[in-house]
Amino acid sequence: MSIKLDGKKLSLEIEEKLNNYIFNNKKIAKRTPGLAVIRIGEDPASGVYVKNKERACSRVGIRSIIFHLKDNVEQKEVEQLINKLNLDNDIDGMLLQLPIPKKFDDQKLISFINPSKDVDGLNEKNIGKLVKNEPAMRSCTPAGIVNLLKSQKITIEGKKIVVIGRSLLVGKPLSLMLLNLNGTVTMTHSKTLNLNKVCKEADILIAAAGKPNLIDSSFVKEGAVIIDVGIHRIESSDKNKTRLCGDVLLEDVIPKVFAYTPVPGGVGPMTVTMLLVNTIFSWQKQFGLSSTLNDLLP
Ligand code: NAP
């Protein structure tokens, strides 16, 4: 029987440890960790993601502050807010909730974030350190996936790993992290020829294409591990309702694989948990707290 890589369960286990860690250290730091979230405009999915992050922060004892800006603000005003938060000693981490309206230059805004507060790990300094395999803030979804694999003692070293997608948010940082862990990584994209054949070689196949049910069992090697990053709301068979699905047609793939992530409850919760971890890392660094945080992760 295939193993379900239960991101929800693992994230709750890690959160409990993070909560204890904050509780035991807040007297030394004289304050709890602080996270600022900048949201621009009214993208409904972003609203849900920001709410989830806010709730997760309050579960572990991180103070979160949401800056919800109207989409008629100017790029300069957002830059000024970021600069203000960079200088705010009570803020350990900050993130810009993506996507933001097209009129903004999101990469330029991210480059304004102080790398030590860049809890999404998307600033070019942190990406550069990832390329060089030096310690730095790592992007949350890739870090969550690595920890999910580690939690089930799934070896990365020496494995053939295929990543579908090459975005700055998921595919590229994930491929680099797996490469740094000595996986043999192939990064694929919409122009890859014979995607099906390439995927079938994978010991670990990671789908981050953003295409509902793209991957069926014909893409998957017997006994592989499949990680589904995609998340989509689609119409359910009951017409008035919707349901969530990923990039993988799970019911078709599960009988063939060694392990899989469900959607929802796989990669998503781990992404949020790694955001908490990054915020606490930054807090820990600022106050020179004992470095036991790594012990809290798988
Ligand atoms: P993205 O920026 O749209 O990138 C998608 C990537 O997939 C691109 O590199 C694209 O190739 C590639 N692609 C698209 N169609 C393909 C196909 N048919 N065959 C092969 N490659 C294909 O998306 P993203 O931000 O990386 O996110 C991907 C998915 O993960 C989305 O569903 C998103 O909602 C989800 N997500 C989930 C979490 C989570 O926590 N669970 C976090 C982040 C994202 P090109 O470069 O050639 O266009």
Q: Is the CB–ligand 1 distance for residue 53 below 6 Å? A: no
Residue with the bigger pLDDT between 298 and 103: it is 103
Clarify whether residues 148 and 263 are in a common domain. Answer: yes
Mind listing the pLDDT tens digit for each residue in 171-228?
999 999 999 999 999 999 999 999 999 999 999 999 999 999 999 999 999 999 999 9
Quick one: DSSP state of residue 291?
A: S
Residue 238's pLDDT band, with cuts at 50, 70 and 90, is: confident
Calculate the alpha carbon distances from 61 to 32, 58, 64, 235 in Å.
7, 5, 9, 37
Mind listing the pLDDT tens digit for each residue in 34-48?
999 999 999 999 999
Clarify whether residues 251 and 149 are in a common domain. Answer: yes
Residue 86 placed within a domain:
yes
Q: Which residues of 155-173 are buried (b: 16+ CB within 10 A; e: fewer)?
A: ebeebebbbbbbeebbbbb
Q: How far is the CA of 294 from the centre of ligand 1 (A)?
A: 29
* Cβ atoms of 224 and 202 closer than 8 Å: yes
Residue 124 placed within a domain:
no
How far apart CA 162 and CA 207 sit, in angstroms, is 8
Q: Is the dihedral of CA 81, 83, 88, 90 positive or negative?
A: positive
Give yes or no for residue 295 having a pLDDT over 80. no
Residue 283 placed within a domain:
no
Q: Is the CB–ligand 1 distance for residue 190 below 6 Å? A: yes
pTM over 0.85: yes
Confidence (pLDDT) at 54: 98
Cβ neighbour number for residue 196 with a 10 Å cutoff: 12
Give the percent of the chain with pLDDT over 70. 99
Q: Which residues of 242-280 are buried (b: 16+ CB within 10 A; e: fewer)?
A: eebbbbbbbeebbebbbbbbbbebbbbbbbbbbbbbbbb
Calculate the alpha carbon distances from 80 to 77, 86, 106, 138 in Å.
5, 10, 14, 25
Give yes or no for residue 298 having a pLDDT over 90. no
Residue-wise DSSP of 214-225 = -B-GGG--TT-E
Which of 139, 229, 234, 267 to mutate for ligand 1's pocket (most ligand atoms within 8 Å of CB)? 229
Confidence (pLDDT) at 291: 66
Clarify whether residues 78 and 169 are in a common domain. Answer: no
* Cβ atoms of 294 and 282 closer than 8 Å: no
Confidence (pLDDT) at 287: 93
Residue 60, φ and ψ in degrees, nearest 5: -100, -10
Residue 263, φ and ψ in degrees, nearest 5: -130, 120
Cβ neighbour number for residue 215 with a 10 Å cutoff: 25
Number of domains in the chain: 2
Residue 156 placed within a domain:
yes
Clarify whether residues 84 and 152 are in a common domain. Answer: no
Catalytic residues: 53, 97, 120
Find the CATH number of the domain harbouring 262: 3.40.50.720
* Cβ atoms of 205 and 162 closer than 8 Å: yes
Residue 122 placed within a domain:
no
Clarify whether residues 216 and 259 are in a common domain. Answer: yes
Calculate the alpha carbon distances from 261 to 81, 182, 184, 245 in Å.
37, 22, 21, 12
Residue 240 placed within a domain:
yes
Q: Is the CB–ligand 1 distance for residue 209 below 6 Å? A: yes
Q: Take atom 35 of ligand 1 and give the residue whose Cα is closest.
A: 230
* Cβ atoms of 139 and 194 closer than 8 Å: no
Mean pLDDT of the chain: 96
Clarify whether residues 155 and 258 are in a common domain. Answer: yes
Clarify whether residues 153 and 247 are in a common domain. Answer: yes
Cβ neighbour number for residue 18 with a 10 Å cutoff: 25
Confidence (pLDDT) at 290: 77
Host domain of residue 153: 140-268
Find the CATH number of the domain harbouring 69: 3.40.50.10860
Clarify whether residues 99 and 154 are in a common domain. Answer: no
Q: Is the CB–ligand 1 distance for residue 41 below 6 Å? A: no
Residue 273 placed within a domain:
no
Clarify whether residues 98 and 176 are in a common domain. Answer: no
Mind listing the pLDDT tens digit for each residue in 63-116?
999 999 999 999 999 999 999 999 999 999 999 999 999 999 999 999 999 999
Residue 107 placed within a domain:
yes
Clarify whether residues 263 and 214 are in a common domain. Answer: yes
* Cβ atoms of 259 and 266 closer than 8 Å: no
Clarify whether residues 144 and 264 are in a common domain. Answer: yes
Mind listing the pLDDT tens digit for each residue in 110-147?
999 999 999 999 999 999 999 999 999 999 999 999 99
Confidence (pLDDT) at 283: 97
